[in-house]
């Protein structure tokens, strides 16, 4: 009934009010709860930012210590969850594995699916998600290698524990490199929230039906997996490798991206909201240089990325459409330098985005928002009569 505005991709439709993330696409500004992303990336830790997003303010020392402690004591997952891994083929993509397992947590915490959940239950679910996602993610990787899993080591901080679960082997000592921990913290912070993007809107819309937070986050992981969203970080490295293996001619791929008869897009370029630059990409580009320098890594793919960026930024096609490198253009290069396998890149994005999803879900619940239910403009057949099968 009434007048319906048609807006494919919700390019101009606001679906909520939000006090979490401020984003100015023209000026390239990104704030979490008022704090500039540059300051947080430089000075904060990922769990501090998670607390900020979820609870609205930076934690005091005591609040942070309590939050970190709560997360540590929930890092284990039920042994029956571990057994589910045995059913996945070894080469299963870890995004499919973690979204399934996050959803499977509803079976282990059925009380979380009760729409009358109280504040205590909500808090516990938030802590469980933050605590268990790194364990599930690292185990998905171990499973893909056919290796036994590492149980969480709670003497370690959030990022170090994840790296330990990912990389420690029973046959040798594993020491976490502080350069890698710092870089991981920064990457997770840069990915922690980005207002009403595809996966976050998915989390809010699934949550609006009062499905459990686990289900909503699982749906968010699936939305993030697509190459136009979080999956772009894997797609960027695959594209850069393809260029390298094809003789290193960046212009050839630039032309492919410009060709309207070719579905190929320059991965890691363009953004729905940023039309001048992506502030996260600026921080990451600088960080990529530093991390590779500190770790003494020379990656020919970084040179190709720089060539491609330079060529695109002076090409009228990209200039006219205001297409700039986005957060995913350089993140894969750092992940690679940290030893993270390509298939895990989008999982790293999911670990980073988790506090944002949680904060947005919590806000949606506390705003008492109605169920998400877009309208449509019907363009199908007008009324017609049923024809029995033998008459068709």
Q: Would you state the structure tokens that stand for residue 210, as one six-digit string?
A: 């009062």
> Is 282 near ligand CMC (CB under 6 A)?
no
Name the phi and psi angles at 341, rounded to 5. -70, 150
Q: CB-wise, 97 or 257, nearer to ligand CMC?
A: 257
Among 30, 41, 267, 334, binds ligand CMC (CB under 6 A): 267
3-state helix, strand, coil in the chain (%, to 5): 60, 5, 40
Among 134, 220, 230, 352, binds ligand CMC (CB under 6 A): 230
Catalytic residue ranges = 271, 328
Tracing tokens 């009062």 back to the chain, one arrives at: 210
CA distance 325 to 348: 19
The window from 151-159, 203-211, 270-278, 292-300 that contacts ligand CMC (CB under 6 A) reads: 270-278
Are 15 and 196 spatial neighbours (Cβ–Cβ below 8 Å)? yes
> Is 94 near ligand CMC (CB under 6 A)?
no
> Is 95 near ligand CMC (CB under 6 A)?
no
> Is 103 near ligand CMC (CB under 6 A)?
no
Instruction: Let me know how many helices (H) and strands (E) the chain has, helices first.
Output: 17, 3
Q: CB-wise, 82 or 306, nearer to ligand CMC?
A: 306
Q: CB-wise, 216 or 257, nearer to ligand CMC?
A: 257
Could you give the string, one character per residue 296-325, with x where binding to ligand CMC holds by CB under 6 A and - elsewhere? -------------------------x-x--
Among 183, 187, 221, 257, binds ligand CMC (CB under 6 A): 257
CA distance 363 to 217: 14
CA distance 24 to 45: 24
Longest Cα–Cα distance in the chain: 76
Q: CB-wise, 140 or 223, nearer to ligand CMC?
A: 223
Q: CB-wise, 23 or 166, nearer to ligand CMC?
A: 23
> How many other C-beta atoms lie within 10 A of the C-beta of residue 248?
13
Residues in contact with ligand CMC by the rule CB under 6 A = 9, 197, 228-230, 232, 257, 265-272, 321, 323, 326-328
């Amino acid at each position: 009934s009434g007048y319906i505005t048609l807006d494919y991709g919700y390019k101009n439709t606001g679906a909520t009010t939000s006090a979490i993330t401020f984003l100015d696409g023209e000026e390239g500004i990104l704030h979490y709860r008022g704090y500039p992303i540059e300051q947080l990336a430089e000075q904060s830790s990922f769990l501090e930012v998670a607390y900020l997003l979820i609870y609205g303010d930076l934690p005091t020392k005591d609040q942070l210590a309590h939050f970190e402690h709560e997360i540590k004591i929930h890092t284990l997952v039920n042994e029956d969850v571990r057994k589910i891994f045995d059913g996945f083929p070894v080469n299963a993509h870890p995004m499919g594995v973690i979204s399934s397992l996050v959803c499977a947590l509803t079976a282990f915490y059925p009380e979380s699916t009760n729409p009358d959940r109280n504040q205590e239950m909500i808090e516990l679910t938030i802590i469980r998600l933050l605590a268990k996602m790194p364990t599930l993610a690292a185990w998905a990787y171990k499973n893909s290698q056919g290796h036994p899993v590492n149980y969480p080591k709670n003497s370690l901080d959030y990022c170090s524990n994840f790296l330990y679960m990912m990389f420690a082997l029973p046959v040798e000592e594993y020491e976490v490199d502080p350069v890698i921990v710092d870089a991981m913290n920064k990457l997770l912070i840069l990915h922690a929230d980005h207002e009403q993007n595809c996966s976050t809107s998915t989390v809010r819309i699934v949550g609006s039906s009062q499905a459990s937070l686990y289900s909503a986050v699982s749906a968010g992981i699936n939305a993030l997996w697509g190459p136009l969203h979080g999956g772009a970080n894997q797609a960027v490295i695959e594209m850069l490798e393809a260029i390298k293996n094809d003789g290193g001619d960046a212009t050839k791929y630039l032309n492919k991206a410009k060709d309207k008869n070719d579905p190929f897009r320059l991965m890691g370029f363009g953004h729905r909201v940023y039309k001048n630059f992506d502030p996260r990409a600026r921080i990451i580009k600088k960080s990529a240089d530093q991390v590779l320098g500190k770790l003494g890594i020379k990656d020919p793919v970084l040179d190709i990325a720089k060539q491609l960026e330079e060529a695109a930024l002076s090409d009228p096609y990209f200039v006219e459409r205001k297409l700039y490198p986005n957060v995913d253009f350089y993140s894969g290069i750092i992940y690679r330098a940290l030893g993270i396998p390509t298939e895990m890149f989008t999982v790293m994005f999911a670990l980073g985005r988790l506090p944002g999803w949680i904060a947005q879900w919590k806000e949606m619940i506390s705003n008492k928002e109605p169920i998400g239910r877009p309208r449509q403009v019907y363009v199908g057949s007008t009324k017609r009569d049923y024809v029995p099968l033998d008459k068709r």
